[in-house]
Amino acid sequence: MITFSSLQTILNARSGSGRVVDITIDAVSTDTRTIRPGECFFAISGPNFDGHHYVAQAFDKGAVCAVVQRDIDLPPAQKDRLLMVDDTIKAMGQLAAWYRSQLPAKVIAITGSAGKTTTRHITYHVLSKFFRCHQATKSFNNHIGLPLTILAARPEHQILLLELGTNHPGEIGYLTRIARPDIALVTCVAAAHLEGFGSVEHIIREKLSISEGLTPGGLLIVNGDQSEIICYTMSLNRPYLMFGTGSACDFQGQNLKTQGNWGELTLEGLPIKVPMPGRANLMNVLAAWAICKTMGMSLSDFANAIKDIEPVAMRMNIEAIGPIKVIVDCYNANPASMDNAIDCLSTLSQIDHQRAVFVAGCMAELGPASQKFHYELGQKAARGGIQFIAAAGPFASDIIAGATHAGLNPARCKTFTDTQILCDNLHEFVRPADIVLVKGSRSAGMEKAVEQLRKLYT
């Protein structure tokens, strides 16, 4: 809890009426649909909404004050409870940075081009069996979500698990200075958001900027299997540890193997069975082990805790839908995560002797290299033994061109201008007993295809 006057001081804000009222604030909110009495409403403005239009509604629902960046016509009693700032998003970051400094919890921050949400999910699953933990809701990892996650933590929490995302330079640096992590981990770096970064080298620099916010004595952990990451990390001239499969790694995983919807890896001589599909999830488990071991956890406790882990929603979920099996991986996509998903589809197809069908949405934010990456995706799918590809979106023809060039029969390929038209035609090419991978960037809305398959086969 914090007083109105303290909040004003932290934000260097101006009172809406010039008076300071005697108010205690329990929490913060940016959403009038979920706001509760006693909370402070931050009026956030975005491209498709403006929280300033809902300030009166927030007060009607019990908000005790509101932080705004422009004047609003309100009754005098509500004007008394306004705080004026230049930028409400930055003000919320200021408050979160102050609040983080008051928290006794150890802060763990995770970033990377892929695997950060799943690594956070695994780490939380394990650590919460032994500590009072708080983590981000869904993928709250940007300049709005991260402050909200920190501000939702409570003094009794021992561990705060944060996820840091980015699509433009400087965002990780901004977020890590708010989070001030005690442990910072980089899962991997791959071609993602190239539209905003221009090159993988710039992405590496951005991801490793998570180290800028580390507390004194804080620990940086990076993927030791990516030489580009290690070269840049060495130039930072700060201590670091590595997880990976190489012998030089401080947290080494060996004998990684996948078998359908589960996998196995060996940690310090002990085989660990992981009830999640794909090699990438084994690397996510290895990253989580690096954090958990650093926190003092024993390997036996870690292995026992992993036994009942479940995948994150819309990330490599294997779902039986009537006579077909569907790999649901609709949350996001980049070349690295697509490669992993195709490998998983190929493996499952071989194990279960089912026809492998790839229902592909396009990968977003790859900039001028988009056609090249989609062409290579089609090649990868064909060479991985995928037997039918249906692609939708602006680069669907590039996916199919790559697949046919790599040897897939054009009769086993279809292109659609958008996801909805693809959904309307799923019945024409998905057969009973198929195993179907549905994957694309979030903007492609590939979950619609999963819903359509459920309608067709249940």
Domain span holding position 230: 103-306
What is the SS3 string spanning 67-128? EECCCCCCCHHHHCCEEECCCHHHHHHHHHHHHHHHCCCEEEEEECCCCHHHHHHHHHHHHC
Q: pLDDT tens across 22-34, in order?
A: 899 999 999 999 9
| Arithmetic mean of pLDDT, 120-135 | 96
pLDDT at residue number 137: 76
- Out of 306, 325, 360, a domain closes at 306
DSSP secondary structure code for residue 163 in this structure: E
Task: Report yes or no on 92 lying in a domain.
Answer: no
Report the number of distinct structural domains present in the chain. Answer: 3
| Arithmetic mean of pLDDT, 45-70 | 92
User: Could you tell me the sign of the dihedral formed by the alpha carbons of 224, 228, 234, 238, in that order?
Assistant: negative
Other CB atoms within 10 Å distance of the CB of residue 211: 23
In a shared domain, residues 188 and 291: yes
Q: Token pair 């869904």 is at which residue?
A: 138
Straight-line distance from the first to the last Cα atom of the chain, in angstroms, rounded to the nearest whole number: 49
CATH number at residue 288: 3.40.1190.10
In a shared domain, residues 300 and 325: no
How much of the chain exceeds pLDDT 90, in percent? 76
Give the burial class of 16: count Cβ atoms within 10 A of its Cβ; 0-12 exposed, 13-18 middle, 19 or more buried.
buried
- Out of 254, 271, 306, a domain closes at 306
Task: Report yes or no on 311 lying in a domain.
Answer: no
Q: Is residue 88 pLDDT above 80, yes or no?
A: yes
21 — pLDDT class (breaks 50, 70, 90): confident
- Out of 87, 121, 156, a domain closes at 87
Residue 104: name the closest of 175, 161, 156, 28 by CA: 156
d(CA 177, CA 90): 12
Q: For residue 280, what are the contacts with CB-CB under 8 A and spacing of at least 6? A: 114, 115, 316, 337, 340
The whole-chain average pLDDT of the chain stands at: 93
CATH number at residue 423: 3.90.190.20
365 — pLDDT class (breaks 50, 70, 90): confident
In a shared domain, residues 337 and 194: no
Q: Is residue 197 pLDDT above 70, yes or no?
A: no
Looking at the chain, how many residues does it have? 458
Q: Is residue 136 pLDDT above 90, yes or no?
A: no
pLDDT at residue number 256: 95
Q: pLDDT tens across 236-269, in order?
A: 999 999 999 999 999 999 999 988 788 999 999 9
Task: Report yes or no on 62 lying in a domain.
Answer: yes
What is the pTM assigned to this prediction? 0.88
Task: Report yes or no on 131 lying in a domain.
Answer: yes
pLDDT at residue number 95: 97
Between 95 and 334, name the one with better pLDDT.
Answer: 95
169 — pLDDT class (breaks 50, 70, 90): confident
In a shared domain, residues 332 and 406: yes
User: Could you tell me the sign of the dihedral formed by the alpha carbons of 342, 396, 319, 443, in that order?
Assistant: positive
CATH number at residue 33: 3.40.1390.10
Between 80 and 240, name the one with better pLDDT.
Answer: 240
In a shared domain, residues 191 and 265: yes
d(CA 399, CA 401): 6
Look at strands 82-84 and 14-15 and give their pairing. antiparallel
Q: Which amino acid is at 364?
A: A
pLDDT at residue number 124: 97
pLDDT at residue number 196: 64
Q: What is the CA radius of gyration of the chain?
A: 24
Q: What helix, strand, coil percent values describe the chain, rounded to 5?
A: 40, 20, 40
pLDDT at residue number 192: 66
